[in-house]
A and B are shown apart, each in its own frame.
Chain A
């Protein structure tokens, strides 16, 4: 418990002393809200609410990619990260503290988006729906963080920054976060259920509005979580820090 508290404090101190990071994290979803959701869907209460949910989930993806993908790659590059691995803590305290931090970031990060939706659109959702939606977003941290952990540990640290910059946009796009959740045609609609982002998105949509999750997406969500968990664990075990050839 002591160790987990120490890691959490460590993460928070490291994060709050560089506040510009938060601006960078929230930039894309905010632009998405202002340029697409507000002008195009602002007048449709249901569509605006679901799209806001999509943008919030996009934020979760970006937070996870920064925190786990980049964060892990950074720790692998720095001698300090290697040193921490020699301490008798094991991976658990770090993971738990990082997940706690993610939950905090997600809640804080979605506030501006929900505010934009409330002020700039006719989006409607019950208070219970919004809270449930936040729960769905926090739950989405699990598959996203596992994915980014696997990338952070397995990929050459220099490449990780590229991958973590691009992958949230691609995963959000093919997962159908930028399209109408109810759409029944088009490439994305057919691919989306097989993408790790889709299952989480459907849960969030179901929480905040009129949407019923597809069984296929739910099954794939479980499959992805198990697979990504395995990959992340294996990548962690075989990681030895920076490698040269």
Chain B
């Protein structure tokens, strides 16, 4: 059995009358890249805040490395990204790194960290004067300062351009390959799809799905039939249409039947391609109540 680094058991968190997290049980095993998905207000941040000791559960228990997360001992092997807004503006990037490093017994050497996150040029600049991308990279670097075994990355690449995002993904993958465990929330499904092995979809504070990325793609039950055609054909069994230029994607529960109907309709088309639905489809299937997107099983 693999080590469980962190565990939430029957956790509920209320803010006044609002239930942000509702009787949730989650285990984070060592070495896993866990994606946390959910619409705004689903309880992702609240869950993470309970894991890192910022908030107490209203009921249930949260454990981090076998301790209460509010206990200092629990947090020595954990790293987290601060929100890049509100960093101490008058301090230089290097000074902020030094401050965070002082909390850990064996921090990464500063030069190594700076190089890893392409921050060498900003070491001497005050954080208030950094660009959004630089500040974001600094924030992510801070999660890795103490050589953590578990990192919580809350929206790590929001607002970054594609290239920097790719570079950070590679960094997370390398960290994971070396045995690191990460919990990632993101607005970009693409990011979760790229990085995570396991995905938890939260909605209304509850866990509505908890499975591998591959299994979640399957379970949405949707197939995507993509063709090149001048006109969107009208066919039975189509539950969604995406169109860009003359490339049309038809979402359906039964790709075989749709292709038969497509051929029988005599509509002109080329470049037929059938793929399993994306994680995005699964996500929508789980978090919307649209009749066409009911999950096949729960």
Contacts and interface: CB of A to CB of B under 8 A. Distances in A.
Interface of A: 2-3, 5-7, 9-10, 13-14, 17-18, 78-80, 82-83, 85-90, 240-241, 243-245
Contacts of A10: 88, 91, 95, 99
B268 to A, nearest CB: 55
Given A13-B91, A14-B88, A79-B86, A86 B56 contact: no
B95 A86 contact: no
A78 B86 contact: yes
Q: Most chain-A CB neighbours within 10 Å: which of B16, B78, B91?
A: B91
A13 B89 CA distance: 11
B55 A86 contact: no
Contact of B75 (A9, A78, A88, A240): A88
A79 B104 contact: no
Interface residues of B, number: 31
Interface string B57-95: 000000000000000110110101011011110110001
Contacts of B83: 79-80, 83
Contacts of B167: none
Interface of B: 15-16, 52-56, 72-73, 75-76, 78, 80, 82-83, 85-88, 90-91, 95, 98-104, 142, 146
A17 B99 contact: no
A5 B102 contact: yes
Q: Most chain-B CB neighbours within 10 Å: which of A79, A80, A82, A245?
A: A80
A89 B103 contact: yes
A90 B72 CA distance: 6
Contacts of B101: 6
12 contacts: A6-B101, A9-B98, A14-B91, A79-B85, A80-B82, A83-B142, A86-B54, A86-B75, A86-B78, A87-B103, A88-B72, A241-B54
A240 B56 contact: yes
Given A80-B86, A86-B75, A87-B75, A244 B95 contact: no
Nearest to A6: B102
Q: Most chain-B CB neighbours within 10 Å: which of A18, A87, A90, A243?
A: A87
Given A10-B91, A78-B86, A79-B83, A87 B100 contact: yes
Contacts of A79: 82-83, 85-86
A245 B88 contact: no
Q: Most chain-A CB neighbours within 10 Å: which of B55, B88, B90, B98?
A: B88
Contacts of A86: 52-54, 75, 78, 80
Given A86-B80, A245-B15, A6 B87 contact: no
Contacts of A90: 72
A112 to B, nearest CB: 24
A222 B228 CA distance: 83
Contacts of B103: 3, 6, 87-89
Given A10-B95, A14-B88, A85-B53, 5 more contacts: A9-B99, A80-B87, A87-B75, A241-B54, A243-B15
A245 B16 contact: yes
Contacts of A245: 15-16
A89 B72 contact: yes
A80 to B, nearest CB: 5
A90 B98 CA distance: 17
A72 to B, nearest CB: 15
B130 to A, nearest CB: 14
B57 to A, nearest CB: 11
